[in-house]
Structure 1
């Protein structure tokens, strides 16, 4: 058995150096200033005839849409104020620092929401007279180029506009009106500056609800009204008359349905050791956890975290119990077929939000339960959430308000929620084998809230823990399954190749979830859930012990179990360090043809997780953790010295002697209604040669990577979106080690995003925590591994072996006494 060692932690306060960072003519990736970062110019639209025709159509459509909206209004409601909202599509990103005030003060348009990475802006018409000035400029432009008008002057700012339209009731409604309208969410327009108009309209809307006895609740953080039940007529009347509604969506959610493929077992056949009080806690946000299973010995006796009216210890959906078992026990029971006695990696806290296979979810209720759970159990860091919205996200849709709330919660409470991508059950009805091109379909997009950035999103790998020949349809067990969902954003639609931030994607990793099987009958050939590639999970059904199914609902808790193992061994780590450890140990190495590289991350993330590498180092492979904070416009460096034996001993290898794999993760307070600057913090890292910090600042060639930094923060007027998870992997040889006296320096850089609304910047001018995980491993044949690397790194660096807790041995001692 391989020797396991604890991870290591760098003593950052004693070794780091930091200085102010100043941008020179060369950007962060070492090249000269890009021409396409120039301010928006007239040259973007050379064909003014086509542009004039587009403006003419937009003006006519706007006028017609306004007339129709005014006619639909019910004057008897006596709504005290009305506002028009204009959606303007620009040729490229709307530069907020430059144009926000121009459009507000000159044209009477207040920007309230930025989508399509800020190339589309929703404006409130705050001043109708000033807005008429803009419309007049557009009309002048149309007459000049279509009607040979005599006037030759017009405001050049209008050339940046592509087209525009009124926000109509049809634009607001994004659900099926033919179905019962229960658990509806009205996403209200959130004004970025204090004005009385939205408050006046909202008060009138509340009166409307009270008069019709419509039960509703406002979430003031996200400006979302949750409605339990409303008629189609009332909903249409609301969106037609109360000019504060931006979006109407359904809060319906679904879970996977477990299936039984074998003779039910009357006995579970395994036991769980009684829970040690020091075990980590995992909050299971689900359908309850049955206390009639062996899980009862590790189940916290708290029935108050519940919004369903049915006990948290009853699982009528037969879902939360299986999820809880995987989160507490992980992969270990599959080694013995769930036979024998097991030590749990976590205690379980039931947070019940649903009592059936589908139903409405209240974002407000979920957040209240999360906050209550954290208040009652301050040590709680890990949650699972495997109940997602039924509807998948639209292509390139902005981050939902639900995901925004979860991001805020994770950031403010140092927590990590393991969220599944949800299942695409449509996959089995249209495929007969593994077709990676199927993921291009829009209905393969992930579901809310799995786009969350501060938390960790888990997709499904085909692994099902069955011995023998793999019988799933995927090329191998490491591949993402067809029912797992992909990232909904394709940056190629908005950015040129050089400006795409390849660090942004979901899921973060994939974990075992079982696979579809090829099922053949005399007349048909199709794929579906079957008995040979599905995953065995604990059942809450009293007539059976286990059920068998497939789904991302299994993948998320299995990944959460790895987090529990990390906390069990290293209880003082930050939640973002846990995320970085999991991402850093994931691998795409066994996933290749037929999935192309440009699609791989969007469906498999960083690849299949490796529990052992996540939790342990060994003699030939050491994981070093850096936990620190950094202020904007600062660069910090951390030296790491490699052991002398790597260059002095005859290891019979000169090149690619050592592999370095490093992952940076950080959480942030998100910015709502700004898709480009949702993550307002730019942070990047790189590995540099053994130079002074001044040399690193001035000479980017000192980086040993081809890419100077993990993301490019040079652009200001048209920036990239920022990522908060970066991973790199590369090798070094004897020559590099000799040239740099066995020492390399990791540098971390921070700055603020340039596209924030005035007034938002000040609160981000502080230190931002980050976690950086660096894995260093010998690249030698197994028989020639030296066993010297781990101890050598400890000896050569200001480094400490992480404090660990061996709860299993502690528990055994207690039992023996």
Structure 2
């Protein structure tokens, strides 16, 4: 089959209709979340009475532990409240503020748990009185009045210093991060305490860095006594974290020694540049000719030197080699003509590949990179926290900063899920049930939504027999990490977002092997062969998600090289749309983990890069406004109806992926992404008909093919995904009934569940990209689908469009 360039919709011409979207909400009720509202109020009252007693003891202890010599003029108590169901921010935020003097400052567990500041102690006494009266009613049978709101609380407690401190002092490292609490309605209280904190830091010669954008303070070389004093006395800190990161795992690999035997033949070519956020890239390696000679961007020595890993063989160099040279050159052991797909900028954040980094300085450096090289769109980041995320843990400040960076700078960072080094000691064979353990969850910042998250398949880019332990090359490696979000713990089966998972895909990372019948180990045979940083040791053997992520970035670079005017969201959607789960089967016992472990499946380079005569990939880039629906006809060739195809059912397969980026919102896990956007493919109907309920007019092509994401839950919404994928099998009867035209529909709205309302000037128009692949699934393909799709839709071959756009640029 010939490789053909993808097609792009001329969105203004293809668009047939814009309308106001009408949601058929139905009964909003509890919206399917697991409320566990107990009718046995005696048990609830007993819990709340116990909570109250402990709260009173903790308050006394909190102020006994204060250092009054600090003379901090403002005290704020914080109450963490867990609810029976999801807390309706729009409805109850003002109620808690006005009636109880409680200002909601952060929400966790998708709004089932909230942190509230006591900003009015007199009104807070109303809360305490309601607790007392409720418990007296249910336990002591004294019939006194209380607010019914109390019955929706499951427990509460005081935020204590030990809750704020997220690490033990024995693990105190070089850097500690203080995440500050935002009080949007009482900002004077916050800044009054913050000024006192800065005075304390300056007086004690504690080196710190405050980033206003992320609202975090980075402390360097602080003592245990000092950090304890800070969290115990300055009531503006939500959490203090000290998280070590790691890029490389020590291993027992043998090393293949040889000189670099190749040169890159197209080093002078104009190629996409990718930023490698890592341990440096050796300028003595074979990558020297495609490495930008820029030593500016570093947190730890020269970025043109890489001495991390075992025997100083490097890590960033291997990552850069995968980004620039891709699968083909590695599979061929760098023999023959070597052509690069990208050039590299080294951004060094560590010399060793382990330890502590300044996240704030890293973000500052990334913004500087974009200022100096605004054309750089792609980055790789293979440094993750060494500890895993707990199930349904909220987005970290680090993740928030990277998502915001991606949104603001038109960037896309390829982030690995992190490696689970314990998998060898904890297994004797390949067992997918192992991923049920919480400690196999991914590591921050692999919870990012705007960027691209990659896990590892067992494939090692070698032909011949597969010698790893996995059930096949396409299966996930046992060391890869799974997504930490489990919505079934919050909602029931009727309310779920099938798109809300990480990673996005898995890609080749190498596998572990059998040392003997019952022992697993890191072995050369199933590992990847990678470029080392030392010129006298040409290659080395390694495995890890650290190498799956740059391989995916290589595909992105090739897509940008082929289609330079596509947005990053289109690049992301093309990779996801091409990925497949076809060769990965999880047994029933672990089937629910499938997407959390492998995402949308294994990357398929060919499908992402090219169309062919029997398969057309169409790309729609457009903008949609809050509260609107847009309709785009998709027209199919007549030969699919008029000619004999050998079968009537399943003549076509349609796969479609939607991606968009968003400005993240802090302190609210449920509405971190406040944009609900959904799409689907419907019968040949108008927007008004598509919006009608099924019992009035059936618009679905299949009963199980509805909107890609459910937006009908308003007061207690699902978390929204900015990456969604659907598929559809097309029959001849479908095409006949709909006169060879289906309707692609997309709609959008903003969430109402925002702490303190949406930020001022938050966007109300949202760019998006939608990738649609239509492929014949008949035995004897006709060889004309691509050409006829092009003729009957308002599309243009992308390479032709690029030529037109480049000519326009020259004429400006």
Normalised by the length of structure 1, the TM-score is: 0.94
Q: Write the distance in 2 (CA, Å) between the matches of 1:527 and 1:384.
A: 29
In structure 1, the residue matched to 2:578 is 585
Q: Tell me, yes or no, if the aligned pair for 1:181 and 1:232 is still in contact at 8 Å.
A: no
In structure 1, the residue matched to 2:94 is 101
Q: Tell me, yes or no, if the aligned pair for 1:183 and 1:252 is still in contact at 8 Å.
A: no
Q: Tell me, yes or no, if the aligned pair for 2:6 and 2:616 is still in contact at 8 Å.
A: yes
Q: Tell me, yes or no, if the aligned pair for 2:614 and 2:775 is still in contact at 8 Å.
A: yes
Q: Write the distance in 1 (CA, Å) between the matches of 2:657 and 2:587.
A: 27
Q: Write the distance in 1 (CA, Å) between the matches of 2:33 and 2:392.
A: 25
Question: 1:324 aligns to what SS in structure 2?
Answer: helix
In structure 2, the residue matched to 1:309 is 301
Q: Is 1:646–2:623 an aligned residue pair?
A: no
Q: Tell me, yes or no, if the aligned pair for 1:517 and 1:533 is still in contact at 8 Å.
A: yes
In structure 2, the residue matched to 1:748 is 746
Q: Tell me, yes or no, if the aligned pair for 1:271 and 1:340 is still in contact at 8 Å.
A: no
Q: Is 1:438–2:471 an aligned residue pair?
A: no
Which residues of structure 2 form unaligned runs of 5+? 804-812
Q: Is 1:82–2:75 an aligned residue pair?
A: yes
In structure 2, the residue matched to 1:168 is 160
In structure 2, the residue matched to 1:813 is none
Deviation at 1:693, TM superposition (A): 2.5
Q: Write the distance in 1 (CA, Å) between the matches of 2:413 and 2:17.
A: 32
Identify if the C-alpha distance between structure 1 residues 626 and 102 changes in structure 2 by more than 3 Å, giving closer, same or farther.
same
Q: Write the distance in 2 (CA, Å) between the matches of 1:126 and 1:790.
A: 64
In structure 1, the residue matched to 2:395 is 399
Q: Write the distance in 2 (CA, Å) between the matches of 1:553 and 1:272.
A: 23
Q: Tell me, yes or no, if the aligned pair for 1:571 and 1:805 is still in contact at 8 Å.
A: no
Identify if the C-alpha distance between structure 1 residues 44 and 179 changes in structure 2 by more than 3 Å, giving closer, same or farther.
closer
Q: Is 1:273–2:272 an aligned residue pair?
A: no
Question: 2:499 aligns to what SS in structure 1?
Answer: coil
Deviation at 1:33, TM superposition (A): 3.1
Q: Write the distance in 2 (CA, Å) between the matches of 1:258 and 1:803.
A: 45
Question: 1:36 aligns to what SS in structure 2?
Answer: coil
Q: Write the distance in 1 (CA, Å) between the matches of 2:356 and 2:673.
A: 29
Q: Is 1:729–2:727 an aligned residue pair?
A: yes
In structure 1, the residue matched to 2:196 is 204
Q: Write the distance in 1 (CA, Å) between the matches of 2:222 and 2:155.
A: 35
Q: Write the distance in 2 (CA, Å) between the matches of 1:468 and 1:176.
A: 48
Q: Write the distance in 2 (CA, Å) between the matches of 1:39 and 1:612.
A: 41
In structure 1, the residue matched to 2:288 is 296
Q: Write the distance in 2 (CA, Å) between the matches of 1:699 and 1:45.
A: 34
Q: Write the distance in 2 (CA, Å) between the matches of 1:437 and 1:786.
A: 44
Question: 1:85 aligns to what SS in structure 2?
Answer: strand
The structure 2 residue matched to 1:187, chosen from 179, 185, 205, is: 179
Q: Tell me, yes or no, if the aligned pair for 2:291 and 2:344 is still in contact at 8 Å.
A: yes
Residues 452-489 of structure 1 show CA distances to partners (whole Å, capped at 9, x for unaligned) of 00001000000001222111111000011111001111
CA-based RMSD? 1.9
In structure 1, the residue matched to 2:701 is 704
Q: 5 Å matches for 1:367-516?
A: 367-516=363-512
Q: Tell me, yes or no, if the aligned pair for 2:392 and 2:485 is still in contact at 8 Å.
A: yes
In structure 2, the residue matched to 1:213 is 205
Q: Write the distance in 1 (CA, Å) between the matches of 2:360 and 2:546.
A: 22
Deviation at 1:313, TM superposition (A): 3.7
More displaced, 177-186 or 712-721? 177-186
Q: Tell me, yes or no, if the aligned pair for 1:273 and 1:297 is still in contact at 8 Å.
A: no
Q: Is 1:20–2:19 an aligned residue pair?
A: yes
Q: Tell me, yes or no, if the aligned pair for 1:258 and 1:319 is still in contact at 8 Å.
A: no
Q: Tell me, yes or no, if the aligned pair for 1:21 and 1:697 is still in contact at 8 Å.
A: no
The structure 1 residue matched to 2:334, chosen from 331, 338, 355, is: 338
Q: Tell me, yes or no, if the aligned pair for 2:103 and 2:118 is still in contact at 8 Å.
A: yes
Identify if the C-alpha distance between structure 1 residues 542 and 276 changes in structure 2 by more than 3 Å, giving closer, same or farther.
closer
Deviation at 1:37, TM superposition (A): 3.5
Deviation at 1:530, TM superposition (A): 0.1
In structure 2, the residue matched to 1:624 is 618
More displaced, 242-251 or 307-316? 307-316
In structure 2, the residue matched to 1:688 is 682
In structure 2, the residue matched to 1:51 is 44
Question: 1:143 aligns to what SS in structure 2?
Answer: helix
Question: 1:515 aligns to what SS in structure 2?
Answer: coil
In structure 1, the residue matched to 2:808 is none
Q: Is 1:772–2:770 an aligned residue pair?
A: yes
Q: Is 1:146–2:146 an aligned residue pair?
A: no
Deviation at 1:39, TM superposition (A): 12
Q: Is 1:11–2:3 an aligned residue pair?
A: no
* Aligned structure 1 segments of 4 or more residues deviating by more than 6 angstroms: 38-41, 804-807
Q: Write the distance in 1 (CA, Å) between the matches of 2:334 and 2:252.
A: 16
Q: Is 1:137–2:130 an aligned residue pair?
A: yes
Q: Tell me, yes or no, if the aligned pair for 1:40 and 1:160 is still in contact at 8 Å.
A: no
Identify if the C-alpha distance between structure 1 residues 402 and 246 changes in structure 2 by more than 3 Å, giving closer, same or farther.
same
Q: Write the distance in 1 (CA, Å) between the matches of 2:686 and 2:98.
A: 48
Q: Is 1:69–2:62 an aligned residue pair?
A: yes
More displaced, 758-767 or 652-661? 758-767
Residues 225-277 of structure 1 show CA distances to partners (whole Å, capped at 9, x for unaligned) of 11121111111111111111111111421112476745642311221124345
Question: 2:475 aligns to what SS in structure 1?
Answer: coil
Q: Write the distance in 2 (CA, Å) between the matches of 1:171 and 1:775.
A: 49
Q: Write the distance in 2 (CA, Å) between the matches of 1:219 and 1:312.
A: 28
Q: Tell me, yes or no, if the aligned pair for 2:252 and 2:523 is still in contact at 8 Å.
A: no
Deviation at 1:756, TM superposition (A): 1.4
Q: Tell me, yes or no, if the aligned pair for 1:259 and 1:547 is still in contact at 8 Å.
A: no
Deviation at 1:587, TM superposition (A): 0.5
Which residues of structure 1 form unaligned runs of 5+? 808-817
Q: Write the distance in 1 (CA, Å) between the matches of 2:151 and 2:558.
A: 57
In structure 2, the residue matched to 1:814 is none
Deviation at 1:315, TM superposition (A): 4.0
Q: Write the distance in 1 (CA, Å) between the matches of 2:185 and 2:479.
A: 43
Identify if the C-alpha distance between structure 1 residues 290 and 396 changes in structure 2 by more than 3 Å, giving closer, same or farther.
same
Identify if the C-alpha distance between structure 1 residues 458 and 516 changes in structure 2 by more than 3 Å, giving closer, same or farther.
same
In structure 2, the residue matched to 1:738 is 736
In structure 1, the residue matched to 2:806 is none
Deviation at 1:542, TM superposition (A): 3.8
In structure 2, the residue matched to 1:605 is 599
Q: Write the distance in 2 (CA, Å) between the matches of 1:238 and 1:295.
A: 47
More displaced, 199-208 or 679-688? 199-208
